[in-house]
Amino acid sequence: MHKVIRQAGLPVLLVALLGLMIWNSALATLAAGVALFVLGIGRLEEGFRAFSGGALERWLKWSTSGLWRSLLVGVISTAMVQSSTLVTLLGIAFLSAGLINTLGGVGLVFGANLGTTSGAWLIALAGLKLNMAQLSMPMLAFGVFLARREETGWRGGGLALLGIGLLFLGIDLMKTGFSGFEGAFDLARYAVEGWAGVLLFVLIGALATVVMQSSHATLVLTLAALAAGQVQYDNALALVIGANLGSTATALFAAIGSNNAGRRIAATHLIFNLVTAGAALLLLHQLIAAVEWLADVGGLAADAHMLKLAIFHTVYNVFGLVLMLPWSPLLVRGLERWLPEEAAMADCGMLSERPRTRAKYVNDTALLHADTALKVLEQELQHLAQLSRQVVGAALYLPHDLTALPPAELHARVRQPVPLAVREDADALYERHIKGVYADIVDFLSHVDVSLLPEQQQVMMNASVAARDLVAAVKAAKHLQSNLRQQIDSSQPVIRQAYTQLREQGGLSLLELRHWLDTVDDTQGRERRLEDGEAQDQRFAETFQRDLQQHLRNRELDGWQATSLLNDLHYLLRVRRHLRRGHIGLTQRVSADEAERLEQAVNLA
């Protein structure tokens, strides 16, 4: 029953709104203005990202190494794009991807809250006095024309112009809508005095911001209603406080799909606005007195309520900064203790005894733009590579502490009996630890819809290929284990020795991969390791096949057993080559020659 009511709620709400709009044309005009304003913010954000070629994101990443620098960046960025929500979401994405530290993220959120005041001043000074509809017309015309161009720069500029035009047109319609209420009813008659009115309008402002997902839209509505005399000045101040509180909803929704690092930004945003709102309500009369004093100093008229509202919005956010900045280091330590980094999975122990594994780094928040998407994808590939090495090692019944063994000790350990208790099922391990992570990576790649530069598209393609190679290595190891499971305890010494050699070669490959990530910026070293690995594969394959031929001639093996060993040799070669190729993909810098040579190597296997 509850599900039916919830599903029917939205259609009922839409029908009710439609009825209200039909009943009163002013309300329809007001709703259209809000819709155009919110749509304009979205187009402005999209256009700025495309027009700047990711400059905003790179600037944020570069400039958030300290508190004061990130504070300034948050103020300027929010003033440029007129969206504290976008800057906060970028902060969540950057912190979740490890591109900035917690202190920089805290400063970014603080600055974004102060940067929202620029919109209030713009609208109070000119937005409701000029003919915004007339100003928007050329912007809309040029914006639509340029947004249809294929070139990223022209398209981004067109979207930005289109966004600004929609903002201006939305403001004009909201102003017209509130003016039209005069003939229908006077909202000011429903004003509530005292603290009950303050709390009621704080709640209304918060709910309006949650519904519209934009504190700027709530602020414009408040200014338009104040200019039309539809809301009292005291109640408008409460609406401003509520709008700031409601802006935390978007960040909290984004934090659900983020990791603990990204959730710190959402928590900072929530704490800042809760503390600021609570303190501002306790000292509301003192803040209003400060606004009146500043208005007198500026020579404003007593009834210049719109400019006073902009002053209050600024004083309110500056008050929050003064209140919170001294506690920033303590806040950072508390957030890092409350929301710690997820512990990395150790390379030892039984894999079958560990919880089912899913992706650790890719999340919906990182999809906001290319930099964070590529960063978390790189981290998730390293996670998948670690899991793949562990599952391959378990499939070959190699020691759990393999990465700590020198080759000589590995040689001795693989010749010892393998207890039944430590023999793990590769098929079960694939389902438990590989398939879920790979599925999450594929799903993440399918949702990357941000504009990518050509080199970023290449990196994304390399990452997709690397993930497939890592999974292919595990699947080859699964096939190898099917015969290994039956023959590791064979009564024929020749068969036991052959599988011991295959297991040892698999272990040597895993030991070799320990050094691959050290060659990220060493192209020559990476190529040398690749050539050495291919030469080692060829030498081992030739020796193994020559020995098989000798055993066949000596009647120590029959044809059936020899073909099974040859098949398992090729499975091992595929394991080694796919692992090698997947780990090259982790560097994100695969050259064309390397890719072609690896493709040929895998095809030959």
What pLDDT does residue 2 have? 42
Question: CA 487, CA 424: separation in Å to the nearest integer?
Answer: 15
Tokens at 197, concatenated: 């009115």
pTM: 0.68
What pLDDT does residue 467 have? 92
State CA 585 to chain mean position distance.
21
Percent of the chain with pLDDT over 90: 11
Question: CA 170, CA 30: separation in Å to the nearest integer?
Answer: 9
Q: Could you tell me if 398 and 510 are in contact, meaning their C-beta atoms sit under 8 angstroms apart?
A: yes
Single out the residue of 576, 564, 514 nearest to residue 540, CA to CA.
576
Provide CB contacts within 8 A for 409, sequence distance 6+: none
Residue whose tokens read 């508390």: 334
Higher pLDDT, 264 or 194: 264
Higher pLDDT, 171 or 346: 171
419-425 contact pairs (CB < 8 A, 24+): 422/350, 422/397, 423/397, 423/485, 424/350, 424/351, 424/352, 424/394, 424/395, 425/352, 425/481
First to last CA, the chain: 58
> Each residue of 285-315: pLDDT tens digit?
899 899 989 988 888 888 788 888 888 988 9
Report the pLDDT averaged over residues 56-75: 71
Tokens at 246, concatenated: 């409601």
DSSP of 447-505, one letter per residue?
T--S---HHHHHHHHHHHHHHHHHHHHHHHHHHHHHHHHHHTT-S-HHHHHHHHHHHHH
Domains and CATH numbers, the chain: 25-338 (no CATH), 360-604 (1.20.58)
Listed range (173-177, 238-242, 447-451, 552-556) with the worst mean pLDDT: 173-177
Question: CA 484, CA 424: separation in Å to the nearest integer?
Answer: 12
Alpha helices in 24-83 (DSSP H): 25-52, 55-63, 67-81
What pLDDT does residue 392 have? 92
Q: Cα Rg for the chain, rounded, in angstroms?
A: 32
DSSP of 401-462, one letter per residue?
TGGG--HHHHHHHTTS---GGG---HHHHIIIIIHHHHHHHHHHHHT--S---HHHHHHHHH
Listed range (10-19, 110-119, 465-474, 593-602) with the worst mean pLDDT: 593-602
Single out the residue of 527, 544, 540, 539 nearest to residue 580, CA to CA.
527
What pLDDT does residue 188 have? 56
Give the three-state DSSP class for 193.
Answer: coil
Q: Rounded mean pLDDT of the chain?
A: 78
Residue type (1 letter), 428: A
What pLDDT does residue 184 have? 45
Residue type (1 letter), 142: F
> Each residue of 183-227: pLDDT tens digit?
444 555 556 677 777 888 888 888 888 877 677 778 777 877 787
C-alpha distances out from residue 2 to 7, 11, 15, 218, 342, Å: 9, 15, 20, 31, 36
In which band, very low, low, confident or very high, does the pLDDT at 4 lie, cut at 50, 70 and 90? very low
Is the pLDDT at 56 greater than 60? The verdict is: no
Single out the residue of 89, 80, 69 nearest to residue 118, CA to CA.
80
Q: Could you tell me if 476 and 578 are in contact, meaning their C-beta atoms sit under 8 angstroms apart?
A: yes
Q: Could you tell me if 153 and 51 are in contact, meaning their C-beta atoms sit under 8 angstroms apart?
A: yes
> Each residue of 593-602: pLDDT tens digit?
444 443 444 3
Q: Give me the torsion for CA of 473, 479, 485, 491, rounded to 10°.
A: -110
Report the pLDDT averaged over residues 460-468: 89
Is the pLDDT at 110 greater than 50? The verdict is: yes
In which band, very low, low, confident or very high, does the pLDDT at 587 lie, cut at 50, 70 and 90? low
Report the pLDDT averaged over residues 18-27: 64
Tokens at 89, concatenated: 């979401």
What pLDDT does residue 384 have? 92
Residue type (1 letter), 469: D
What pLDDT does residue 477 have? 93
What pLDDT does residue 431 have? 92
Question: CA 521, CA 152: separation in Å to the nearest integer?
Answer: 30
Question: CA 598, CA 483: separation in Å to the nearest integer?
Answer: 27
Report the pLDDT averaged over residues 556-574: 90
Provide CB contacts within 8 A for 599, sequence distance 6+: none
Higher pLDDT, 396 or 531: 396
Provide CB contacts within 8 A for 368, sequence distance 6+: 89, 90, 93, 450
Listed range (97-106, 302-311, 437-446) with the worst mean pLDDT: 97-106
Residue whose tokens read 């090495």: 389
What pLDDT does residue 388 have? 92
Report the pLDDT averaged over residues 424-429: 91
In which band, very low, low, confident or very high, does the pLDDT at 590 lie, cut at 50, 70 and 90? very low
C-alpha distances out from residue 254 to 89, 249, 305, 314, Å: 7, 9, 35, 26
Residue type (1 letter), 363: N
Single out the residue of 248, 247, 36 nearest to residue 162, CA to CA.
36
- Of the ranges 133-147, 396-410, 448-462, which is most confident? 396-410
Question: CA 78, CA 347: separation in Å to the nearest integer?
Answer: 44
